[in-house]
Structure formats: C-alpha cells, structure tokens
C-alpha cells in the first residue's frame, strides 16, 4: 500500500526533495526508465513521486512489471502545484525519484574488473549519459569522467536511463595512477580493429571536437583510431564509445 501524506507532510516531503536536488549525496531520477533501472540495479531509492499514480503504475505494468509492485508500495501522488516544485521541467513520464548516490572513488572505478571507460572533458551532459548507457550495455567495468561534468547530474542520469547504477561511475580531475594498459582513441592511432583491446584496458575517449589532450595522448600505452570515410571528421561521443567497446565482441 502506498504511503499516505496529509498536506503538511506532503509539503515537507517536497521541501526535502527540492533540497536533495542540490545535495551531491543524492541522485534525482527523472522518468520511469531511470527509476526502473535504478531499482533493478539495487539503488537505495528514498522516495518516488508522481502527479498520477494510476498512470505511472499502468506504464510500469506494460514496460517494467518486475518493478511495478515496488513502485506501487512507495509512490506518493502530488497535486499539480507540488509536482511543479519537484519537477520544474516536463518529464518523459510521470515519475520522479530520489536515491542515494553510490560512493565510488576514482581509484575504485579505475581498478574495476573488465574494461573501464574513461571520458576526458565531456561537455554535453546528454552525450555523457548516453555514453554511460552504452558502457552499461557493453558490460564495462566502470565509467570514469575526467573534468567538470557530473555523470550523476539529473540530465546525465536521464540520458543514461538510470544505468549509472549498473556499474561504478565517478568523476575526477586526473586519471589515477594505474598499471593497467591505457588505450586512447585518437585519429593518429593504428586502426581500432588491428588487435583486440586488452580485457583490463582503460579505454580513453576525448571530446568530439578536440579528441584527447596531449597529456593523455602521451600517457596512453596504445592509440587506436576508428576508421571513417574521407571527409568525416568525428563521431558522436556515445557512438564512438559503442564502436570501441563492441569492436571485438
């Protein structure tokens, strides 16, 4: 049975959610897809809010029946005014949840089993989230973001459909010291398909426009290039990640 709140309790709950949006210890999940993946991968979901509980449960019954009951027992329905406070922009489906942010350190991500994706200086949160989604689908060991972009920002989480919870993800300023092979994607490298990538590689992808920084290019043990038709300058970040992670699967 869903929790019942009187108006004062609902207002206090909304106040907490608004505050959690600014607190890096929490992750805001916008939409049913992000919520379903968070639950499937054992996120500690604190609260689920919706403007239309019946519509949300119908959607989950059709798309994700494995999480419908768990959502149904905790979803709190808000009136239109309260909903606008927690969801100031239009969402793809009537759900907004808050979960605890996993406390992965950069060193833990860099040491995760399997190939680890390293994104240097991504600028677009939507592309960043899409790259995380690809990494989760490819069963990468983790995702490490170098630079200012937060992979747990609501926009990135929405673009990743909440799959940050499927693997270790963290942000840092510099690549941690490691004895694992560092493979950089670079237009000056040898062809990506020249040899399989090491199973324990850190696969480093730079920006769409600038590629890898000189420092990371120098640090790489091997540089690989995605072969493209003449005249094509670059690929979308998530597309490049998909090509690299699925190259020898």
Tens-digit pLDDT profile for residues 164-205? 999 999 999 999 999 999 999 999 999 999 999 999 999 999
What is the tens place of the pLDDT at every residue in 99-147? 999 999 999 999 999 999 999 999 999 999 999 999 999 999 999 999 9
Residue 10 banded pLDDT, cuts 50, 70, 90 = confident
- Which residues, 6+ apart, have CB-to-CB distance to 179 below 8 Å? none
Residue 68 and residue 62: Cα distance in Å, rounded? 9
> Contact 133/166 with Cβ under 8 angstroms?
no
pLDDT given for residue 36 in this prediction: 98
Q: CA-CA distance, 155 to 166, in Å (whole number)? A: 17
Structure confidence at residue 2 (pLDDT): 64
Q: Could you read off the pLDDT of 95-112 as tens digits, one per residue?
A: 999 999 999 999 999 999
- H or E, element range at 236: none
Give pLDDT, residue 177: 94
What is the percentage of the chain residues whose pLDDT exceeds 90? 91
pLDDT digit string (tens) for 41-56? 999 999 999 999 999 9
Please report which confidence band the pLDDT of residue 233 belongs to, taking 50, 70 and 90 as the band edges: confident
Instruction: Work out the pLDDT band at 1, boundaries 50, 70, 90.
Output: low
Helices (H), 92-225: 106-110, 125-137, 154-159, 214-219
pLDDT, position 82: 95
The average pLDDT across 43-71 equals 97
Q: Indicate whether 209 pLDDT > 90.
A: no
Q: How confident is the model at residue 159 (pLDDT cuts 50, 70, 90)?
A: very high
- Which residue is listed with tokens 């499927």? 166
Contact 60, 23 (CB under 8 A): no
Q: What was the pLDDT predicted at 178? A: 94
Report the pLDDT averaged over residues 20-48.
97
Q: Which tokens is 150 given?
A: 């937060």
**Helix, strand, or coil (residue 111):** coil
Q: Which domains does the chain have, with CATH numbers?
A: 7-100 (3.30.1330.30), 106-245 (3.40.1280.10)
| pTM of the predicted structure, to 2 decimals | 0.94
């Amino acid at each position: 049975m869903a929790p019942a709140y009187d108006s004062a309790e609902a207002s206090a709950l909304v106040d907490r959610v608004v505050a959690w949006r600014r607190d890096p210890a929490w992750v805001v999940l916008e939409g049913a897809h992000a919520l379903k993946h968070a639950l499937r991968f054992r996120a500690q979901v604190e609260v689920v809010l919706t403007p239309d509980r019946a519509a949300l449960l119908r959607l989950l019954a059709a798309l994700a029946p494995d999480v419908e009951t768990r959502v149904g027992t905790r979803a709190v329905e808000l009136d239109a005014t309260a909903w606008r406070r927690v969801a100031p922009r239009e969402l793809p489906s009537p759900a907004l949840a808050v979960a605890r942010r996993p406390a992965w350190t950069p060193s833990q991500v860099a040491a995760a089993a399997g190939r680890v994706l390293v994104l240097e200086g991504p600028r677009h949160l939507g592309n960043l989230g899409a790259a995380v989604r690809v990494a989760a689908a490819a069963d990468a060991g983790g995702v490490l973001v170098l630079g200012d972009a937060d992979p747990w920002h609501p926009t990135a989480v929405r673009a990743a459909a909440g799959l940050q919870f499927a693997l270790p993800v963290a942000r840092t300023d510099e690549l941690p010291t490691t004895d694992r092979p560092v493979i950089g994607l670079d237009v000056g490298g040898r062809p990506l398909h020249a040899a399989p990538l090491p199973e324990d590689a850190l696969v480093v992808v730079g920006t769409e426009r600038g590629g890898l920084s000189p420092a990371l290019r120098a640090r790489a043990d091997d540089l690989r290039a995605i072969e493209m038709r003449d005249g094509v300058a670059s690929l979308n970040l998530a597309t490049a990640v998909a090509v690299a992670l699925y190259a020898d699967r």
